[in-house]
Each structure stands twice: as C-alpha cells, then as structure tokens.
Structure 1
Amino acid sequence: LFARYPTPEDLAAEKESILAGLVPGGTGVLNADDARVAAMAGSAHGRVVTFGEASGAQVRATGVGVDAGRPVFTVTAGRDSARARLRLVGEHHVTNALAALAVALDCGLSLADAAAAVSAAVPLSPHRMALTERADGVRILDDAYNASPESMRAALRALLAVAEGGRTWAVLGEMREMGEASASAHAAIGLDAVRLNVSHLVVVGQGAKPMFDSAVREGSWGDEAIFVATIDEAYDLLAESLAPGDTVLVKASHGSNLWQLADRLVEGDA
C-alpha cells in the first residue's frame, strides 16, 4: 500500500476516486475530522453525510472517554442524541463507530437503535484488538492482524488504557510495504513508545529494528527496550518475564507472522 501511495496526498487522491464513482442519488459518508477527506465533498455526485468530533459534523461524538480500554461517548445527529458504550478496545474505534452510525441513519434506522447496535458489536476477525485475560492475571491485547504507523500509535494508546497503570509490554514487529519511508516510520514508533511511557518495548525482527534503535537514542535503557531476532526468542523472553497484572500488546503486519506469538501467549503457557 505505502509503496503504491508513498504520500498521504497520493492515498487521498485514490480514495477520492471512490466518491467520483457514486451513482446519482447515492450518499458519500465522510470523516469531518480529516481535512483531506472533508475536502472531498465536492467530488461526490450524490448527497454527503459527515461524521466526527468536529463541531460541524452531522453525526457527532462528544464526551468521549475510555472505560477499561473501551470507548464511551454521546452521539448526536440533528436533535437526537444517544449514549454508546463500545465492546471494542481502543478509543480509535469511536471514529469507526461514527462511520457505521452515519450509514445506519442514512438507511433509515433510528439513532437509538443504531447506537444500541454499535454498542453490541464484537470483533469478528481474529487478531484485531482481541483482549484476553489469562487465568494467571496476564492480559494479552492481540492486534497482530496488520499494522501501519497510525494503527501502531492507536494500539499503543489502547495498551495504556487497558493496563490502567499496570506494567505494559509492547511487542512490535515490522510494518511492511512502507517503501522508502520504512526506517523513519519504524523509528517514529520507537519514539512514541518511549514518550508514552510503555514499560517494556520488545522489537521483533530485523525489519523493525529502527524502533529499538530510536527508543535507545531517546533514553530507554536496560530492559526498557529489547531487540530479538525471532518470534521464538520473543516468546522465551516473555515466558521468563511476565507477571500477574501485566498487559501485553502484540502488533505487526500480518506477513511478519507475529500473530503466531499472540496465539501462543493467549494459550497461556508463557
């Protein structure tokens, strides 16, 4: 993806072509919080519905908070409002829920029914923000299906929210298809992990090593930042180190196979 669309502008232009393909009478649903996306409204041949936290959004979230890592917010559309409490982990899912709510309202559902539906939704795909609490008190946050810089940052924030002050482990692998931006993108995630005060950063695989290098440069020392070459090494390290109350995030691009580590950790023998 990043090799084909090396800049955000390139990716936005490709996404805008979807709007250009709207049939007459169709509806375009746009994120009002993203300036690039909001600017696409003029390309839509049909009606446009906006969502977001921005004051001008037609389907708007306010009072956004997190309870045990899961988002809560009030959604307003016109004169109607409803409270939503998602079962999905991570505040970033508020944006996803708003998009679904905007579509549901455009299809004729009431806001109350739509809010109840998103509040009841559960993940259907494996390795997507799947939270497991093991019998030994260790929590595994498995988001190893795929990874991009933005989803990495969202996952790190979710890790801290779920941990609620406990010890945190970010076990991160390579973000693939990053093209020439790969080294700098990985380095930026290492900086984020340090600045967010993640207890332990475990970087897996040579392709992700710039994360480790930048964390060390930013001031991580000792076992605050650890590099391992293989999934087996990561597993052995965690088997020796995890304790009750720890929360572990596992995340990388799918082709990095870090989901295999997540499966082993969820099984509970580490």
Structure 2
Amino acid sequence: ISHIEILGSRQNILKAKLEILDGLSPEGVVILNGDDELLSGLKGLLRFKTLLYGIDENLDIWAYDLSSRGEEGVSFQVRTEKSDMELFIPAPGIHNVHNALAGIAVAECLNMSEKEIREGILRFTGEEMRMNITEKDGIKIINDTYNAAPSSVRAAIDVLCEISANRRRWVILGDMLELGDWAEEAHKKIGKLVSRLGIEYMVGIGSLAKWYIEGANEEPSGRTVTKWFSTAAEAKPYIKALVQKGDVLLIKGSRMIKLDVLAKELLTEGLN
C-alpha cells in the first residue's frame, strides 16, 4: 500500500503501475507476482503473454521447500515449464524468494540455462541500507533503513526473528510514510505483531510511530518494553543506555526519518 496517500486505493496504485505496459511491444511478456490477489486476477485479461510466479503450485513459476539458513541465506526448489531446480540465495529472509522468482522468470524468457540462473543468484549481493547485518561490540545491527512499508517491515521483523536465536531483540522503527488514511491501522498492526512475537524492546521514532507503541500496548499479553521519540537523535541515548552485548537490533523506517544516520552513528560510536 505504498503511495496510497497519493493514489487513494490499491486499485489506483495498480492502474498507475500498469501504465508501464504502454511501452511494451506486442511480443512482450508481463511477469507478475501471482501471490498478490490483485495481480493474479490479471491473468488472461492482458493483451500480452503473462507469467505468474509465487509459492502457489498452480502458478507458472513456483517455489517450494523454502528453508531459511539464518544469516547465510535461503534455499528453495523452483519449478517452471522448463525445469525443476534447487537454488540458494546468499541473503537472509524468506521474502527474497519472491525477488528471485521474478528474476528466474526473466531469465527463462531469455533462454538462460539452469547453470546461468543458479550462478547468477549465487552472485547476489545486497545494496547499502538494505538488510545489511553488522556486528559491533558483540551487538548485531540489521540496517534496513533505505525505506519502509508495511510488507517490508514485516519481512525485516521475520529476518530479525530468524537470526536472533535466544538473543534479546530490538525493533527500532521510524514512520512509514505515504499511507494516508491507512497510516494509523498499518502502524498499529506492526506494533501488535512485535508484541505478539515477544520481542523485548521496541523504539518508535517519528510522529506516526506513536501508533506502533499504541498497537503494542493494546496486546493484552504483550511484554515488549516500548518507548517513543520524536527524532532519532533523541532516541540514541536511550538505546545506548539499555543495549547489552548479545542483543540484535533491527533499524528500519522511511528515509525522511533519517534512521540511516542513526544506524551509522551507532556503528561508528559503538554501543557500550
């Protein structure tokens, strides 16, 4: 639901995204996430050949036997019209399987071999501020501060849980912007999720981030320690005072909240 504040509805977002097809040649191929209910409904309605990918076995390209290996990455099987492959993504997060499937669909349209596909995925490296994991003073920081939307925040929280084992967990979350009338509900849902997962600490940063805290505190059985700050600069002393060796910190928010600066300062200055 990113950009819903501007476009008003998911249907309008879809309409805007589909404008890209105006430049597609008649022989072109449209590749869509078949696990998305709006996109899957386009099958057979477009004037182009359409391929759907996802984890539903009825799709053109589908993944199964997904297995997280923590920080090392994710292994999975993928079946297409042409082949059945076992693949490994050297990046944490089950959500990356969908990203890989889109690439595999393109590769098959270009008649690339299984070997080329496998080796290409193995060469994957993440971009700066996108799920970068660094350890400093015995404290692990997941820097995913490039941007934030409800789906990407949930995916980042999944990674935090996958790699933290029995260590104390922190989620340090900035506002999710451009959500319009959905903003309060979206932030509260994330807060409730954090509380249900039993994550030990949650810090909300930004005017909208108060709703993370409210959502977490609405969970009757929640034990998450919550704290809200208006800016990252105000939050930093609190984090540094309470963080302990062995903790795992997820830092994520929309770019305007400047949590990328907070992540860099915590790594540069140290946490103990």
**RMSD, aligned α-carbons:** 1.9
- Counterpart amino acid of residue 5 in structure 1: L
Once residues 63 and 268 of structure 1 are traced to their aligned partners in structure 2, the CA distance between those partners, rounded to angstroms, is 42
Q: Which ranges in structure 1 are unaligned for 5 or more consecutive residues?
A: none
Which residue is equivalent to 2:148? 147
Report Cα offsets for 1:194-247 as digits up to 9, x if no partner.
Answer: 112211111112221111112112247786111122212321122122222211
Distance 1:169 1:206, change over 3 A: same
Once residues 29 and 221 of structure 1 are traced to their aligned partners in structure 2, the CA distance between those partners, rounded to angstroms, is 41
Report Cα offsets for 1:131-178 as digits up to 9, x if no partner.
Answer: 1122x2211111111111111111111111121232110000111111
Once residues 268 and 83 of structure 1 are traced to their aligned partners in structure 2, the CA distance between those partners, rounded to angstroms, is 42
Once residues 154 and 229 of structure 1 are traced to their aligned partners in structure 2, the CA distance between those partners, rounded to angstroms, is 24
Which residue is equivalent to 1:206? 207
The answer to whether the 8 A contact 1:2-1:177 is kept is: yes
The answer to whether the 8 A contact 2:205-2:230 is kept is: yes
Distance 1:66 1:130, change over 3 A: same
1:58 shift after superposition: 2.0
Q: Among all aligned residue pairs of Structure 1 and Structure 2, give the percentage whose two residues are the same amino acid.
A: 28
Once residues 232 and 221 of structure 2 are traced to their aligned partners in structure 1, the CA distance between those partners, rounded to angstroms, is 22
The answer to whether the 8 A contact 2:69-2:92 is kept is: no
Which residue is equivalent to 1:97? 100
The answer to whether the 8 A contact 1:72-1:86 is kept is: yes
Once residues 19 and 210 of structure 1 are traced to their aligned partners in structure 2, the CA distance between those partners, rounded to angstroms, is 38
Q: Matched residue pairs, number? A: 268
Q: Which ranges in structure 2 are unaligned for 5 or more consecutive residues?
A: none
Once residues 58 and 22 of structure 2 are traced to their aligned partners in structure 1, the CA distance between those partners, rounded to angstroms, is 23
Which residue is equivalent to 1:17? 19
Secondary structure of the corresponding residue to residue 42 of structure 1: coil
Once residues 269 and 116 of structure 2 are traced to their aligned partners in structure 1, the CA distance between those partners, rounded to angstroms, is 38
Tell me the TM-score normalized by structure 2. 0.91
Once residues 168 and 45 of structure 2 are traced to their aligned partners in structure 1, the CA distance between those partners, rounded to angstroms, is 48
Which residue is equivalent to 1:40? 42
1:88 shift after superposition: 2.0
Secondary structure of the corresponding residue to residue 249 of structure 2: strand
1:16 shift after superposition: 3.1
Tell me the TM-score normalized by structure 1. 0.92
